[in-house]
Amino acid sequence: MSRGRLVVVALAALSLMAVSCGGTSGTTQQEFKLGIGGPYTGPVAKTGAEFQHAATMALEKVNYKIGNYKITPVWVDEASDPAKASSALEDAIVGKGIQMGCLNWHSSDAVAMMPVAGRHKVPYFFGMGATGVVNDNFNKDRAVNGYWMAKGWPTPQKLATPYGDAIQAFIDGGSYTPKHGKTVAIWGEDTDWGHSLTGAIKDKFTSLGWTVVDSQFFKIDATDHHTILNKFKSEQPSIIAGTSTAPETMSAFIKQAKEVGLDSVLIADGLGYVGDFYKLVGSASDGVLDMQPLFASPAAQQFVSTYKSRFGSEPSPSAAGLAYDWTGFCLKILKRTLDKYGSLTSDNIYKVGRDELWTGQLTYTDGIIMNEYKFSPDSIPDPVIGKGEYIFPVIQYKGGTGQIVFPPDVKQTNFTAPA
Amino acid sequence: MSLAVQRLSREFRSPVTTGLIAGVLALAIFGVVRGGTFILVDSLVTGAIWALVAAGLALTFGVMGVPNFAQGEFFMVGTLSGYLVYTALSGVQGRPYVPFVTILMALVVGFVLGALVDLAVFSQMRRRIREGWVMNTFVVTVGISVVMINAHQLIWGTDYKGIVAYFDGPPIHVLGVSVALDRVFAISVAAVSIAGLWWLLSYSRIGRAIRAVSQDEPGALMVGINVGRMRTLTFAISSGLAALAGATLLFQFPSFPFVGVKPLYVAWTVVILAGLGNVGGAVVAGFIIALLEANTGFFIGSAWEDVVPFALIVLILAVRPTGLFGRAVRSVWEQ
Amino acid sequence: MLRVTELDAGYGFLRVVHGISLQVNQGELVALLGPNGAGKSTTLKCIAGLVRPWKGDIAFRGHSIGGLRGDLVNGLGIGLVSESLNLFTGMTVYENLLMGAYSVPEAEKRRRSLDFVFSLFPRLAERRPQLAGTLSGGERKMLAIGRALMGGPSLLLVDEPSLGLAPKLTQQVFDALRKLSDDGLTILLVEQNVTATLEMVDRAYVLEQGEIVLEGSAQKLSESEHVKDVYLGVMA
Ligand SMILES: Nc1ncnc2c1ncn2[C@@H]1O[C@H](COP(=O)(O)OP(=O)(O)OP(=O)(O)O)[C@@H](O)[C@H]1O
Ligand SMILES: [Mg+2]
């Protein structure tokens, strides 16, 4: 090796070192800090862990790179506590310099984080806090709360409408004939959630020409539903539809429905969120309808097996699955911003969100849970709900696992009416 | 027997009580005619369980003057030990004796734990506290409850630890109402336990001693009763009964740290309605509350199930501050 | 049989009994006399283990029992009929008597005691299934004495049996006590009814403001000027 070439190599090595040490001064790579929210500590830290694992997998998929930007995740711990959530976000923005945020879990935390994002004008995408309060705040003061750009989970009652469509489809398809005409009875826990969700179900059924024969609500911790169920039995509805968020309440309701001898189709929204519900409910859950996101596609199955082998636990579709997709969508937004404006700043990202995400121009179709993640001026901050877009499929349980029975294009099996 | 008759006639002497009993009977008949026989059947099953939990509460208050706000946590202990024993016996599940072994173990665990709590806490307090006994023990039981809830959470987590059913078979039909085998099991256990408690308190030497302590503590000392031991025994029996109830109802109350909250609430409602410290009254009131719940649930709406009995209690206390059946067992703290 | 030496006792900061000493021999019927609030009941409760002595010694059959728990004192053979009787008002007469024999394991012995109590107070036999809380004052007193006897005590402590009773009933109760004493039972009796008491007891102590001011045979005390002035004078 000649003396001259040695000098060149040494110079090249030095300049490389200078670039990697100097960071921003280099021309080859810049760092972009992406805040990723989640309940990493606190009572639902298990969900937080799923967020972190799934987001990591999404980032690895693009090699932590968008163009010449190196994407560094900053974990924003909402800790299931609004006060901690807002100060964690504040710290991430002011202290760690994130220029964009992604994901969150609780509605109450979302409400506390919204104004922080707005004050610093840092766009925050796809928080999963879902209740109507988030929408109200978004619509009330869009100049500030509009930086909470888009929700990762629609207002729950909007999701509940497919039950009516599904039943109608079963009737049309000949797999189901209502035993006692188009009659439905409504049940639910006596909470905002119970009333708004069952209200949406009720409206849908009514609009499809069904008669609501009874509506019954019970205390959230009630485990003795014999009175309600015996009353339903005497009223003979073809379908009983409702929800509860308390596992002991939900499992007692389903078991007792069987005990009482109801022959109605049972819709129990949210049963699948109860970890291992089959241990509590057993075969009484066979035939029950619910809506749950599932890992259905081959890509999703692939995700599950990778996740399991890497992290040694079972991912849930609603936490890890959606977090994976939404992180992917965030990265797509970054890519688009870079293509359009040439640099990743909060301002540019916000403009892409406002001009392309809200208008429905920019959508995401590479997810593993939904076909297409899409927003529209009518839907925001919620995603567009419907067939082919954000929709939880209707599933029917058998032996503790759910199989998609609706919508038809993704269904895994046919609906089976109770004997 | 004449004793029982005498007691009953004494309790029914008051026109208010008689009127209330008549009202309850009328309500039962109305419910059955307008709603269906299931109102009666469900009230009997639920009432038996409430009676079991409330009887222990009444006993603790009557004998020890302790308003036990940790009774629900002994119910929780019952569900937990029931779950642990039952799953440990998974190899032989399906054998008909397994549920009985399970609930007996829970009874023993509740009994022993109750005895330990009394020895560690209330016996010590007895030595030191002269005034404000009821208030002090109230606060302490709340503390015990918090400790037990947190211990459960730390050691076994917040998961729901439950079972599908003790008995698999199809429900049986009683008066046209289908009742799951587990609930038949529950009502049988409750009936046997209440009968056992009744016999123990009425006719056994130890039961008489317990009643003696509740009626006159110095008197009990004077006839040679080890009062401290009777108190420990009382707390142990009461905790054992709550645990027994919890294990028996495991199919409806999966174990988790806060599972005792609802049973505690109902038990207090029952005991206040009956008259503090009145064990026999608590049994009757257990059925009354269950009947009220069922009727409220049917005619007004399940969300009102707790409200109506509570409103009734306020009403009754306004008329009869000592509760429906008065304080048949005079408690030590009154002296 | 019973020897109390320099006993101090009281409640809270209030000392009620100031260094009293007294003695009851086997088979004796001894009275403890004194005005209201003198500390008579307190002394009995100390002996029976219901009140903790502050100082001094209580010996029963040569063994110290000071500060021993009430149930254990009862087990040694000391029965107490207290001033307020402490009956189990929610139990029947029969159950109350049965409770009296709580620490007697032999059924045969219990039956004999029951027969004896019923022969002493036939009235109780008639009222056997009645709740103690519904008995008349005289019947209650009989029941309380009967209950104490059921344990087969060798020393009976009786606190003011005449309290609230008509003279005729008082006499009945006194007769019963005299009879028990004649049958060999050792009795320490607290009374304010000085005349009637001194007629039946062997010896007596006079307690005033927590101190023994006089003691001696019934004969000697009835002749004492102090007793004549303060008690008999008032009574007459
Ligand atoms: N439990 C108690 N607490 C506080 N003070 C008490 C208590 N019992 C008695 N005393 C007080 O002790 C003093 C002596 O009471 P004690 O009952 O021994 O008197 P006595 O001689 O039996 O009187 P009497 O003839 O009225 O029964 C009284 O001043 C009384 O107020
Ligand atoms: Mg006295």
Q: pLDDT tens digits, residue range C181-219?
A: 999 999 999 998 888 899 999 999 999 999 999 999 999
Q: What is the pLDDT of residue A194?
A: 86
Mean pLDDT for the stretch of residues B225-247: 95
Domain chopping of chain C, boundaries: 1-77+155-236, 86-152
Whole-angstrom Cα distance, residue C200 to residue A363?
112
Q: Does an interface of 3+ CB pairs under 8 Å exist between C and A?
A: no
Q: Are strands A211-218 and A183-189 parallel, antiparallel or unpaired?
A: parallel
Q: Tell me which of A170 and A4 has the higher pLDDT.
A: A170
Residue C125: CB atoms within 10 A of its CB come to: 14
∠ at Cα B31 (B27, B33), nearest 5°?
120
Beta partners for A373?
A364
Domain chopping of chain A, boundaries: 30-154+320-357, 158-274+276-296+393-410
Average pLDDT value over all residues in chain A = 88
Q: What is the pLDDT of residue A236?
A: 93
Q: What is the pLDDT of residue B278?
A: 81
Whether the per-residue pLDDT at A22 is higher than 90: the answer is no
The helix/strand/coil state of B238 is helix
Q: Are strands C29-33 and C14-24 parallel, antiparallel or unpaired?
A: unpaired
Ligand 1 binding pocket, CB closer than 6 Å: C 11, 14, 16, 34, 36-42, 83, 192
Nearest CA in chain C to B3: C129
Whole-angstrom Cα distance, residue A295 to residue A328?
16
φ/ψ of residue B137, rounded to 5: -70, -30
Average pLDDT value over all residues in chain B = 86
Domain A30-154+320-357 CATH (choose: 3.30.70.270, 3.40.50.2300, 3.40.630.40, 3.30.465.10): 3.40.50.2300
Nearest CA in chain B to C81: B222
Whole-angstrom Cα distance, residue B146 to residue B228?
25
Whole-angstrom Cα distance, residue B263 to residue B145?
13
Domains of chain B and any CATH numbers: 3-319 (1.10.3470)
* A366-415 confidence digits (pLDDT tens): 999 998 999 999 999 999 988 778 888 899 999 988 899 988 888 889 99
Would you state the structure tokens that stand for residue B324, as one six-digit string?
């429906």
Q: What is the pLDDT of residue A21?
A: 44
Question: Mutate which of C22, C42, C81, C205 to test ligand 1's pocket (most atoms within 8 Å of Cβ)?
Answer: C42
Residue B251: CB atoms within 10 A of its CB come to: 26
Whole-angstrom Cα distance, residue A177 to residue A170?
8
CA dist C206 to C8, C20, C156, C224, Å? 16, 11, 19, 11
Beta partners for A218?
A189
Kindly calculate the radius of gyration of chain B based on its CA atoms and give it in whole angstroms. 20
Beta partners for A241?
A186, A267
> Nearest CB to B178: which of A227, A261, A276?
A261
Residue B300's pLDDT band (boundaries 50, 70, 90)?
confident
Are B162 and A218 a contacting pair at CB < 8 A?
no
Whole-angstrom Cα distance, residue C129 to residue A386?
79
CA distance B228 to chain C (A): 10
Give me the amino acid identity at A85: A
Residue C92: CB atoms within 10 A of its CB come to: 20
Contact in structure between C155 and C2 (CB atoms under 8 Å): yes
The helix/strand/coil state of B296 is helix
DSSP B150-166: HHHHHHH-SS-B--S-S
Whole-angstrom Cα distance, residue B237 to residue B207?
11
How many Cβ pairs closer than 8 A exist between chain B and C? 79
φ/ψ of residue A160, rounded to 5: -80, -10
Contact in structure between C48 and C123 (CB atoms under 8 Å): no
Contacts of A331 (CB under 8 A, 6+ apart): A58, A59, A62, A66, A71
Beta partners for A33?
A72
φ/ψ of residue A308, rounded to 5: -60, -45
Q: What is the pLDDT of residue A45?
A: 78
List the pLDDT tens digit at each of the 236 positions of chain C: 999 999 999 998 899 999 999 999 999 999 999 999 999 999 999 999 999 999 999 999 999 999 899 999 999 999 999 999 999 998 999 999 999 999 999 999 999 999 999 999 999 999 999 999 999 989 999 999 999 999 999 999 999 998 888 888 899 899 999 999 999 999 999 998 888 899 999 999 999 999 999 999 999 998 888 888 887 765 44
- Three-state SS for A177-222 is CCECECEEEEEEECCHHHHHHHHHHHHHHHHCCCEEEEEEEECCCC
Nearest CA in chain A to B87: A279
> Nearest CB to C87: which of B2, B211, B216?
B216
> Nearest CB to B222: which of C74, C91, C98?
C74
Q: Tell me which of A315 and A239 has the higher pLDDT.
A: A239
Whole-angstrom Cα distance, residue B227 to residue C102?
12
Residue B245 belongs to what H/E stretch? Answer: helix B227-248
Q: Which fold has domain C1-77+155-236?
A: Rossmann fold (3.40.50)
- Three-state SS for chain C is CEEEEEEEEEECCEEEEEEEEEEECCCCEEEEECCCCCCHHHHHHHHHCCCCCCEEEEEECCEECCCCCHHHHHHCCEEEECCCCCCCCCCEHHHHHHHHCCCCCCHHHHHHHHHHHHHHCHHHHHCCCCEHHHCCHHHHHHHHHHHHHHCCCCEEEEECCCCCCCHHHHHHHHHHHHHHHHCCCEEEEEECCHHHHHHHCCEEEEEECCEEEEEEEHHHHHHCHHHHHHHHHHHC
C9 alpha carbon – ligand 1 mean position (Å): 11
Whole-angstrom Cα distance, residue A181 to residue B48?
39
The dihedral built from the CA positions of residue A43, A47, A48 and A49, taken in this order, carries a sign that is positive
Contact in structure between A163 and A394 (CB atoms under 8 Å): yes
CA dist C97 to C77, C101, C125, C141, Å? 16, 7, 11, 13
Q: What is the pLDDT of residue A17?
A: 46
The helix/strand/coil state of A69 is strand
Whether the per-residue pLDDT at A12 is higher than 80: the answer is no
Q: What is the pLDDT of residue B320?
A: 75
Mean pLDDT for the stretch of residues A67-79: 94
∠ at Cα A322 (A338, A98), nearest 5°?
40
Whether the per-residue pLDDT at B323 is higher than 80: the answer is no
Would you state the structure tokens that stand for residue A19, as one six-digit string?
């670039």
Whole-angstrom Cα distance, residue A248 to residue B242?
19
The dihedral built from the CA positions of residue B222, B226, B228 and B233, taken in this order, carries a sign that is negative
Contacts of C203 (CB under 8 A, 6+ apart): C28, C30, C31, C215, C216, C217, C218
Whether the per-residue pLDDT at B335 is higher than 70: the answer is no
Residue A89's closest CA among A114, A53, A61, A64?
A114
Chain B touched by A254 (CB under 8 Å): no
Whole-angstrom Cα distance, residue A23 to residue B91?
63
Whether the per-residue pLDDT at B33 is higher than 90: the answer is no
The dihedral built from the CA positions of residue C123, C125, C126 and C128, taken in this order, carries a sign that is positive
Q: Which residues of B209-227 are buried (b: 16+ CB within 10 A; e: fewer)?
A: bbbbbbbbbbbbbbbbbbb
How far is CA A45 from its chain centroid?
A: 17
Are B262 and A281 a contacting pair at CB < 8 A?
no
* B14-31 confidence digits (pLDDT tens): 676 677 778 888 888 888
Written out in words, the top-level CATH class of the domain with range A158-274+276-296+393-410 is alpha beta
* A266-310 confidence digits (pLDDT tens): 999 988 876 678 989 999 999 999 998 888 889 999 999 999 999
Residue A20's pLDDT band (boundaries 50, 70, 90)?
very low
* B156-190 confidence digits (pLDDT tens): 877 789 999 999 889 999 888 889 999 999 999 99
Chain A touched by B73 (CB under 8 Å): no
Residue A279: CB atoms within 10 A of its CB come to: 18
Whether the per-residue pLDDT at A8 is higher than 70: the answer is no
Q: What is the pLDDT of residue A4?
A: 52
> Nearest CB to B301: which of A217, A280, A281?
A217
Entry pTM: 0.83
φ/ψ of residue B256, rounded to 5: -155, 165
Residue A378's closest CA among A361, A359, A363?
A359
Contact in structure between B249 and B81 (CB atoms under 8 Å): no
Whole-angstrom Cα distance, residue C48 to residue C225?
32
Nearest CA in chain B to A190: B303
CA dist A133 to A86, A109, A148, A196, C219, Å? 16, 11, 13, 13, 97
CA distance A184 to chain B (A): 17
Mean pLDDT for the stretch of residues B204-216: 93
Would you state the structure tokens that stand for residue A275, as one six-digit string?
């970890």
Contacts of B35 (CB under 8 A, 6+ apart): A230, A231, B294, B295, B298, B299
Whole-angstrom Cα distance, residue A247 to residue A272?
10
Poorest-pLDDT segment among A161-175, B268-282, C54-68: B268-282
